[in-house]
Amino acid sequence: MLEHTNPSPCGLVKRRQGRPPHRRARDVFVACASVGVLALLVLYAVAAPTATLSTDIGPVVPRPGSRAVVQGRVLETNGGGLRGARIEVRRTGRTAGTAVSDNAGAFRVELPGSCAVYDISLHVRAEGSTVSAATRQQLCPGDALPVDARVVTQGHFLWVPGPR
């Protein structure tokens, strides 16, 4: 008596043949391209745009009055006014005056007192973080110090193929 063992449930043994070489090459190429795209997406997510605050401090302008003034504008990267920038002016470690920029990005801080050296700082929320700039300036009653600031971002460049 002959015994016949067949591991196949249907009684048929199918032999799986390997994929043709051109399909294997295509599969390897697609896998490598997919890994490359995934790596670019991860790098894009990690390399978030960074923001800095560029300031232009003008020369002190004499004007009539009994108070020194720090005034100016804070602009977004697109040139529009940036609302909510905080300006703080300190004299000998104590706050002498503060302001918050309006919808146009304009601010004005009046400083009472005599001639002194002031520490002027700007704090702006941009690109998910707070960026700052600071300067030190001697001001006397009647002096006006113009301060112009602009948020500058550097970051992502994403090329998207297709019609424009």
Considering the domain architecture, whether residues 103 and 143 belong to the same structural domain is answered as yes
pLDDT tens, residue order, the chain (164 aa): 555 555 555 555 555 566 677 788 888 888 888 888 887 777 666 665 678 888 999 999 998 889 999 999 999 888 899 999 999 999 998 999 999 999 999 999 999 888 999 999 999 988 778 889 999 999 999 999 999 999 988 765 545 455 54
Considering the domain architecture, whether residues 97 and 25 belong to the same structural domain is answered as no
Stated pTM of the model = 0.65
Considering the domain architecture, whether residues 65 and 90 belong to the same structural domain is answered as yes
What's the CA gap between 60 and 146, in Å, rounded?
7
* Domain enclosing residue 43, as ranges: 20-48
Label the pairing between strands 143-154 and 68-75. Answer: parallel
What's the CA gap between 99 and 85, in Å, rounded?
8
Q: What is the CATH number of the domain that holds 136?
A: 2.60.40.10
Considering the domain architecture, whether residues 138 and 105 belong to the same structural domain is answered as yes
